[in-house]
């Protein structure tokens, strides 16, 4: 089902918008800002800067606003309406998540995807809907941003984050940039799947002409693959989605080269998802957290059934298991792929469905001190049989999603940078990117940031309490009386303004 096949009821959406506004009014959201303003070098300091205006950035902003933290700016490198992967490099037809999950609604029924969908297309179409079409999810997020009046500054790159006294200085660039630099107390990296790393590019493509291969996260000209032989490395969701795109564009053949001996079929994390898991995971021992994530990595999340069928329905699609790649040569015309088992394959184009790697050192925003970030490999020595080089590169985060120092005192400002993206999953669970737990993660993040901001300004808040002088009782609410047999030595309290 695509949005174009449905009749949109614009009056229904107008009514939903009014309902959202009423719900927010009833919940007293957002409250007034309570964070005292600060300035540095004659410039106002932003309380929280959010890097990324996609789903994570939007719900983080709404959570902060709902907590009375209003001095927030959001920067996104993409044009307006194109934040996140949904209409950029994501190529699945539908989302994997069940349609009824509440996602970034933050506990407000009128903000759910279901409310947005049924307001326009009705309950009958909702019942008929199987999975959420990917472009429709992006339309929902665009509406979410608009109805909540979340301001995102688009076409803005955050080039570097540097310590500047008590603050963080962010160097900005891009067509949408109004300030070359801004100062912030806290920074949230809501930067998505590659938020603390980069696309995973295997060494076997080193030296190959870039015209002969692409990573699944890149802008691929699928029309140019018509009549071509294509090899796809991997069988995860992104690999399968890109395979389907190539087949539908008319590729002569698409062959999946899969290192595993068998197709992953069970989403293990789906089987244990619960509020208990979300709440307990950060409180588990390092050994248990590592064990859960290691098993998830080992078993691998399978591609969705619909996505896999989208590929296999083509007679010129092939799945080859036990085909780890040893090396690849290019003779100027075609690729010659040598497998680890001795077999070979000649093809015209290679797509890497190899996902992303977590590697803080690769983030240019953290250039100059990324090596000072505490990693899981620094903190936890996995026992025999449970070692995993990728897991070891994940940052070992504090309870508020903040980076921690590898060496105490070497980079104390790291505690002001919060990793609200895929990089947080080993430390804190699936609450900073996946639809099921995103609202819980945002609430948790906002609460921790609010607590930190308040502690940092505690003297100011105490002084405000001392200076507060608005009476609730004016003095005319009572009359002082003596006990039996006693007389008052002083006249009764005066009323009105004199009572103060």
Per-residue pLDDT tens digits for 289-308? 999 999 999 999 999 999 99
pLDDT of res. 491: 58
Do residues 67 and 34 make contact, with C-beta atoms less than 8 angstroms apart?
Answer: no
Q: Is 107 left (phi over 0), alpha (psi -120 to 50) or beta?
A: left
User: In angstroms, what is the C-alpha Rg of the chain?
Assistant: 27
- CATH architecture of the domain with range 3-197+358-456: 3-Layer(bba) Sandwich (3.50)
Q: What is the pTM of this model?
A: 0.92
pLDDT of res. 258: 97
Query: What are the distances in angstroms from CA 192 to CA 25, 102, 138, 156, 195?
Result: 31, 19, 15, 16, 5
Backbone angles phi, psi at 275, to 5 degrees: -65, -35
Joined tokens for residue 395? 């940052």
Which 8-state DSSP code applies to residue 346? E
Query: What dihedral do alpha carbons 167, 170, 171, 177 form, nearest 10°?
Result: -130
**How far does CA 427 lie from the centroid of its chain?**
15
Do residues 253 and 229 make contact, with C-beta atoms less than 8 angstroms apart?
Answer: yes
Residue found by looking up tokens 């699609």 in the block: 317
C-alpha 359/C-alpha 363 separation (Å) is 8
Joined tokens for residue 245? 């795109």
Three-state secondary structure of 69-132? CCCEEEECCCCCCCCCCCCCCCCCCECCCCCCCCHHHCCCHHHCHHHHHHHHHHHHHHHHCCCC
SS3 147: helix
- CA nearest neighbour of 422 among 190, 243, 203: 190
Same fold, 3-197+358-456 and 201-265+302-354: yes
C-alpha 454/C-alpha 452 separation (Å) is 5
Q: Which residues of the chain have pLDDT under 70?
A: 1-8, 490-500
Q: Which helix (H) or strand (E) holds 317?
A: strand 317-321
SS3 167: strand
C-alpha 413/C-alpha 312 separation (Å) is 50
pLDDT of res. 5: 56
Q: How many CA atoms lie within 13 A of 378 on its CB side?
A: 14
Joined tokens for residue 129? 């809907």
Do residues 420 and 60 make contact, with C-beta atoms less than 8 angstroms apart?
Answer: yes
Q: Which helix (H) or strand (E) holds 49?
A: strand 46-51
Three-state secondary structure of 246-287? HHHCCCCEEEEEECCCCCCCCCHHHHHCCHHHHHHHHHCCHH
Q: Does domain 201-265+302-354 have CATH number 3.40.50.720?
A: no
Q: Is 249 left (phi over 0), alpha (psi -120 to 50) or beta?
A: alpha
By DSSP bridging, strand 181-189 and strand 167-173 are antiparallel
- Give tens-digit pLDDT for 61-87: 999 999 999 999 999 999 999 999 999
pLDDT of res. 248: 98
Which 8-state DSSP code applies to residue 483? P
By DSSP bridging, strand 417-419 and strand 335-339 are unpaired
pLDDT of res. 500: 44
Per-residue exposure over 59-96, b if at least 16 CB sit within 10 Å of its own CB, e if not: bbbbbbbbbebebbbbbbbbeeebbbbbbebbbbebbb
Query: What are the distances in angstroms from CA 292 to CA 246, 301, 391, 429?
Result: 35, 13, 11, 10
C-alpha 226/C-alpha 229 separation (Å) is 9
Q: Is 158 left (phi over 0), alpha (psi -120 to 50) or beta?
A: beta
Who contacts 361 (Cβ-Cβ below 8 Å, separation ≥6)? 370, 371
Residues forming beta bridges with residue 231, ordered by sequence position? 255, 350
- Residue spans of the domains in the chain: they are 3-197+358-456, 201-265+302-354
pLDDT of res. 128: 97
């Amino acid at each position: 089902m695509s949005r174009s096949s449905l009749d949109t009821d614009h009056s229904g959406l107008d009514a939903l918008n009014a309902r959202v506004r009423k719900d927010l009014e009833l919940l007293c959201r957002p409250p007034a800002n309570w964070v005292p303003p600060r300035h540095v070098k004659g410039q106002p300091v932003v309380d929280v800067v959010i890097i990324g205006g996609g789903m994570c950035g939007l719900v983080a902003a709404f959570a902060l606003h709902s907590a009375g933290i209003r001095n927030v700016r959001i920067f996104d490198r993409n044009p307006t309406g194109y934040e996140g992967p949904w209409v950029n490099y994501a190529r699945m037809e539908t989302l994997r998540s069940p349609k009824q999950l509440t996602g970034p609604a933050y506990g407000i029924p009128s903000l759910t995807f279901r409310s947005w969908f049924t307001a326009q297309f009705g309950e009958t179409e909702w019942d008929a809907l199987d999975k959420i079409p990917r472009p429709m999810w992006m339309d929902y997020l665009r509406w979410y941003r608009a109805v909540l009046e979340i301001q995102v500054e688009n076409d803005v790159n955050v080039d570097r984050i540097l310590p500047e006294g008590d603050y963080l200085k962010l160097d900005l660039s891009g067509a949408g940039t109004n300030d070359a630099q801004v100062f912030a107390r806290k920074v949230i990296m809501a930067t998505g799947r590659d938020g603390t790393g980069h696309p995973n590019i295997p060494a076997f493509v080193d030296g190959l002409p870039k015209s002969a291969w692409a990573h699944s996260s890149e802008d691929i000209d699928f029309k140019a693959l018509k009549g071509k032989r294509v090899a796809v490395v991997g069988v995860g969701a992104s690999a399968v989605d890109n395979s389907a795109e190539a087949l539908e564009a008319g590729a002569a053949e698409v062959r999946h080269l899969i290192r595993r001996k068998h197709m992953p079929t069970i989403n293990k994390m789906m089987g244990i998802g619960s509020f208990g898991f979300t709440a307990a995971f950060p409180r588990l021992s390092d050994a248990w957290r590592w064990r859960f994530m290691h098993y998830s990595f080992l078993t691998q999340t399978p591609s969705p059934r619909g996505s896999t069928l989208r590929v296999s329905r083509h007679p010129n699609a092939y799945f080859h298991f036990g085909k780890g790649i040893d090396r690849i040569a290019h003779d100027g015309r075609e690729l010659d792929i040598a497998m680890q088992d001795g077999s070979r394959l000649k093809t015209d184009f290679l797509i890497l469905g190899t996902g992303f790697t977590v590697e803080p050192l690769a983030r240019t925003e953290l250039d100059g001190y990324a090596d000072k970030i505490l990693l899981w490999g620094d903190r936890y020595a996995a026992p025999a049989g449970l070692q995993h080089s990728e897991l070891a590169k994940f940052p070992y985060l504090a309870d508020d999603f903040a980076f921690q120092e590898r060496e105490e005192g070497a980079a104390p400002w790291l505690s002001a940078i919060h990793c609200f993206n895929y990089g947080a999953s080993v430390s804190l669970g699936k609450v900073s990117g996946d639809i099921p737990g995103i609202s819980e993660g945002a609430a948790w993040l906002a609460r921790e940031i609010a607590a930190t901001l308040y502690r940092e300004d505690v003297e100011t808040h105490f002084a405000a309490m001392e200076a507060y002088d608005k009476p609730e009782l004016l003095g005319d609410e009572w009359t002082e009386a003596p006990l039996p047999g006693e007389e008052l030595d002083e006249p009764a309290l005066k009323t009105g303004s004199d009572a103060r």
